[in-house]
Structures are given as structure tokens and as C-alpha cells.
């Protein structure tokens, strides 16, 4: 199977004033379509840095980043935003739900970037919430959800637009052990069924 993510000699340097920290020193990496890959390493080892490059949130200092055969290291900020809308779903450690919006409104956000009609959006949102098992929490605000539920809503939001890849940065980092296992299990079954 073809590599969905392919990194060639990727260098990432953070420069602040005169100081420059090189975090990734010529990294090569291939991830096959349908893979479920976990990056492990101590805090500060560069996991977030790498995921940001793969997800198009940040640009490499050198090397090539290709996703689904497309070079994204040369895209402009505006092009990257459009690219992310089509290809990437993000799940963050602290869920990053918009506190003013209900669960279903949060899940609908990525669909506002598509040309789907309101009715289609509603249908897709319901499907995504059903997949994560939260159909009965559609009208709840993030503050009315437990951590695990909030992360399920975030996962629904990440996959509602059927992205090419799902980027999860410490998706269980804020959850207790049992809930964390539950979320990981959900992600794994999603990978089996949808990936």
C-alpha cells in the first residue's frame, strides 16, 4: 500500500532571537494508509512538533513533507488552511471545543468548510455523534460534558468531514486511566472500521 504520510530529511528548528533549537534533525518517516501509528517519547522529544508538520499546522525548516502524494511543505498559509479542511482531523489533549457551542454545533464546524447543505450537515453530524456514542448529548454545551464525553465530541468533530488522516496529540493526556482506555479503544475501532 502507498504511504499516506511521507517525510524526507525533515528538519525543524525553532528560532527565538539569536537562540535556535533544532528539534528534528533530518527525519525520515513513512506511514501506510490505514495504519494506526502511535508516537512515543518523553516530554519535549518532539512529538507535537512532528504532528504539527504532518497536520500542516506548522512548516518544516527543511526537507519534504508529503501527505497522500501531495507536497505540503511548499504550501502557503491560506493553501494550508484549505488543505487541512479537506485532509486532516485534529484531536487535542484538552479537546479544544468552543465553549459557546453545543456538541452538535462543535461537530458541525468542519462541515461549514464544505458545500454540504444544512440538512446534509445535520445528518453527518448525527452520524458522527452516533459513532462516538453521544447522540443523546447533541444539545449539551462542553461544560455540561465529562472529560471523556468532551473528547468523544472532539473525535466526532475530527472525523465528521471524513479526513484523510486523523492527528491526535495526547488525546488521553487529560483523562483518567479507564476513560483513556475507552478513548483509545474508540480510536482503534474507528481505525478498523473507517480507516
Ligand X SMILES: Nc1ncnc2c1ncn2[C@@H]1O[C@H](COP(=O)(O)OP(=O)(O)O)[C@@H](O)[C@H]1O
> Where along the sequence are the contacts to ligand X (CB under 6 A)?
14, 16, 21, 23, 41, 43-49
Closer Cβ to ligand X, 48 or 61, answer by number: 48
Which parts of 40-69 interact with Mg ion (CB under 5 A)? 48
> Do β-strands 3-16 and 19-32 pair in parallel, antiparallel, or remain unpaired?
antiparallel
Taking each helix axis from N to C end, the angle separating 147-159 and 118-131, rounded to the nearest 10 degrees, works out to: 130
Binding mask 40-79 for other proteins (x = CB under 8 A): --------x---x--x-xx------------------xx-
The answer to whether 115 contacts other proteins (rule: CB under 8 A) is yes
Phi-psi label, residue 124: left if phi above 0, alpha if psi -120 to 50, beta otherwise: alpha
Q: Alpha helices of 147-195 — where are they, by DSSP H?
A: 147-159, 177-193
Query: What angle do the packed helices 147-159 and 177-193 form, to 10 degrees?
Result: 20
**Residues lying near other proteins in the complex (CB under 8 A):** 48, 52, 55, 57-58, 77-78, 81-86, 88, 90, 92, 94, 96, 98-101, 109-110, 112-115, 157
Q: What is the binding site for Mg ion (CB under 5 A)?
A: 48
Amino acid at each position: 500500500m502507498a504511504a499516506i504520510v511521507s517525510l524526507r530529511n525533515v528538519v525543524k528548528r525553532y528560532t527565538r532571537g539569536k537562540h535556535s533549537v533544532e528539534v528534528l534533525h533530518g527525519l525520515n518517516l513513512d506511514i501506510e494508509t490505514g495504519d494506526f501509528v502511535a508516537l512515543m517519547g518523553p516530554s519535549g522529544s518532539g512529538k507535537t512538533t512532528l504532528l504539527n508538520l504532518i497536520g500542516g499546522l506548522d512548516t518544516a525548516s527543511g526537507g519534504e513533507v508529503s501527505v497522500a502524494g501531495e507536497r505540503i511543505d511548499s504550501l502557503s498559509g491560506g493553501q494550508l488552511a484549505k488543505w487541512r479542511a479537506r485532509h486532516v482531523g485534529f484531536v487535542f489533549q484538552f479537546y479544544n471545543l468552543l465553549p459557546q457551542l453545543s456538541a452538535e454545533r462543535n461537530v458541525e464546524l468542519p462541515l461549514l468548510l464544505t458545500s454540504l447543505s444544512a440538512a446534509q450537515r445535520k445528518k453527518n453530524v448525527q452520524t458522527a455523534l452516533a459513532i462516538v456514542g453521544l447522540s443523546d448529548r447533541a444539545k449539551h454545551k462542553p461544560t455540561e460534558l465529562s472529560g471523556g464525553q468532551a473528547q468523544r465530541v472532539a473525535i466526532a468533530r475530527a472525523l465528521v468531514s471524513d479526513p484523510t488522516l486523523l492527528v491526535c496529540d495526547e488525546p488521553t493526556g487529560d483523562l483518567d486511566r479507564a476513560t483513556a482506555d475507552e478513548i483509545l479503544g474508540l480510536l482503534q475501532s474507528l481505525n478498523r472500521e473507517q480507516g
